[in-house]
Structure 1
Amino acid sequence: MAGSSREFHKPVRLPGETFDRLFTGSDPAEVSRIAHSTAAALLARVRDDPQPAIVDRLLAFADEHGLHDLAELWSKAPSHSLPGALWRLYLVQLMIHDDPQTAALLYERGRVELSSVDPVVAGAPVPATPDELVAVIDTILRGAFTGDFAVALERAAAFCRVQASGATHLADDYEATEPARATTFTRRALRLSTTAADLTACAALWRRESLT
C-alpha cells in the first residue's frame, strides 16, 4: 500500500510509512479474537441488511474518523485474514482520499507502463481524474460489503499493482535528480505491491471459504 508522511497527512491519521499499528492489549489471543469477530460481524450485518445509509457510513468511516479506531481492532490481525483484508481495503481507500492528485498520477503512469490486465480488472476510467479514482476506490470498498467479496479484493489488488507500477517508474525518473523523492516513491511501490499480494491471497482464501 500505501512513503512520506504526506500520504496520510491529516492530524488524526497514521503516517504514510505505517501500514500496521500496535494494538494496546495485554492478551494477544483476546486481541485476535476481537479482531476476527468484529470483522465477521460487520460484514454479516451489512450483507443481512444492506441499507444504503449503513453502507455509506462504513465507506466514510476511515475518511471521517481516521484509522485509529480501525487500527485498534484490525491492524495486528494476520495479513491473510478477514480483519487483515478489511484493514488493507480501508488503508488503500484512505490513501486515495488523502491525495487523489498523486494517486491519479501514479495510476496513469502505471496503466501506461503495465502490460497486464490489472488496469481492466481495477476498472478505472482511461485516463482517470483524481475524483474518478476516489469514486473507483469507494466502489471497490462498497463491493466488499454488498457484492462478491473476492471480486472486491481482486479489484483492489489490481488497483494497487497499477499504482505500484506508476510509483516504481516515477522513482526511476527521479533517481538521478531528486533521490529523496525517488526513495519516497520506491517505498510506496513496495507497500502497494505487498498490499496487492495480501489482498490477492485473501481473495483466494475467501473463494475456498477459508478466510476467517
Structure 2
Amino acid sequence: MAADFHRPTKLPPGMFDDFIGGADPAHLNRAAHDTAQALLARVRADPDPEIVARLIAYTDRHGIDAIAELWSGASAKSLPGALWRIYLLRTLIGQDAETLSLAYRRSTEMSHTIDQVVAGAASPAGPAEIRELADRVLHGVFTGDFAVALERAAAFARVTATGFTSLADDADASDSVHHDRSAALTRRALRLTELGDELTACAKLWRRDALD
C-alpha cells in the first residue's frame, strides 16, 4: 500500500458507468489476484482491530486510485474483482450518501423484500445509516463470513437499484425537462443491479472455495 497520502479521488457521476458493468480487460494482472489473496488471508488470520479499521477507512485517506490500479481490471467473478466492487460501493456511498439513502428508502417504502433483511440497514435509513452499513459490510469482509458480506452488499445494491428505478419513473412522468435526469437514474439502477448480480456470483463461488 502506498506510503504517501493524497486527496481522495472524487468520482463524477459518469464514472460509475465506466467502472461497473463494462467489459473486463482481455488480460488480467496476476498481481491483482496475489495481492487480494495475500491481504485477505493475512488479515483474516489475525484480525487486529487497528489494522481492520485502517483498511476500512483506506480510501477515505488515500482515495480509490491505488485500489483501482490493483483490482479494477480483474474479472468481476474473482477475489480482486469482488474486493474492488466492495470498496467502490463504499466510496460511492461516502461521496453521495444522501442520494443513495433516498433511493434505498424509496425502495423500502414500495415493498418489503428479503434483500432489505439481508442488507441490514437501520430504519429509517438516512445517509448516516447507509454509511454505517457500508463500514459494517467491509468489516465483515475482513473479520466475518466473507460470503455473507458479499451477499449484504449485493442486497443493498439491488434494493437501491429498485429505488433509483422508481425515482427515474417519477422524473420521467413529471415533464420532458427531466428526461436527462430520468435517464441518469435509470443507468444507475442498471449498474447497481449488475453490481448486485456480480457480488452474488462471487459469494456463491466463495462458498464453493472457487473464488480465485
Q: Which residue does the alignment assign to 1:3? A: none
Between the aligned partners of 1:11 and 1:70, the Cα distance in structure 2 is 12
Q: Secondary structure at the match of 1:175?
A: helix
Extract structure 1 runs of 4+ deviating beyond 4 A.
none
Q: Map of 1:111-122 to 2, 5 A cutoff?
A: 111-122=108-119
1:98-127 Cα deviation digits (max 9, x unpaired): 111111101100112244211010001121
Q: Does 1:147 align with 2:144?
A: yes
Q: Does 1:66 align with 2:63?
A: yes
Q: Does 1:36 align with 2:55?
A: no
Stretch of structure 1 that moved more, 165-174 or 44-53: 44-53
Q: Which residue does the alignment assign to 1:189? A: 189
Q: Which residue does the alignment assign to 1:47? A: 44
The correspondence for 2:166, drawn from 169, 173, 179, is 169
Between the aligned partners of 1:183 and 1:40, the Cα distance in structure 2 is 38
Q: Which runs of 5+ in 2 are unaligned?
A: 1-6, 20-25
Q: Secondary structure at the match of 1:12?
A: coil
Q: Which residue does the alignment assign to 1:198? A: 198
Between the aligned partners of 2:155 and 2:111, the Cα distance in structure 1 is 11
AA in 2 matched with 1:211: L
Contact 1:14 1:67 in 2 (8 A): no
Contact 1:113 1:165 in 2 (8 A): no
Q: Which residue does the alignment assign to 1:210? A: 210
Normalising by structure 2, report the TM-score: 0.88
Between the aligned partners of 1:114 and 1:95, the Cα distance in structure 2 is 24
Alignment coverage as a number of residue pairs:
197
1:56-108 Cα deviation digits (max 9, x unpaired): 11111122222110111000100000000000001110111111111110110
Q: Aligned-pair distance for 1:11? A: 6.9
AA in 1 matched with 2:127: P
Contact 2:107 2:163 in 1 (8 A): yes
Normalising by structure 1, report the TM-score: 0.88
What is the identity percentage for the equivalent residue pairs of Structure 1 and Structure 2?
54
AA in 2 matched with 1:99: D
Between the aligned partners of 1:205 and 1:11, the Cα distance in structure 2 is 32
**Alignment RMSD (CA, Å):** 1.8
Q: Which residue does the alignment assign to 1:56? A: 53
Q: Does 1:126 align with 2:126?
A: no
Between the aligned partners of 2:150 and 2:57, the Cα distance in structure 1 is 18
Q: Aligned-pair distance for 1:14? A: 3.6
Between the aligned partners of 1:72 and 1:83, the Cα distance in structure 2 is 11
1:134-181 Cα deviation digits (max 9, x unpaired): 001100111011100000000000000010000000000001321111
Between the aligned partners of 1:13 and 1:104, the Cα distance in structure 2 is 19
Q: Which runs of 5+ in 1 are unaligned?
A: 1-9, 22-27
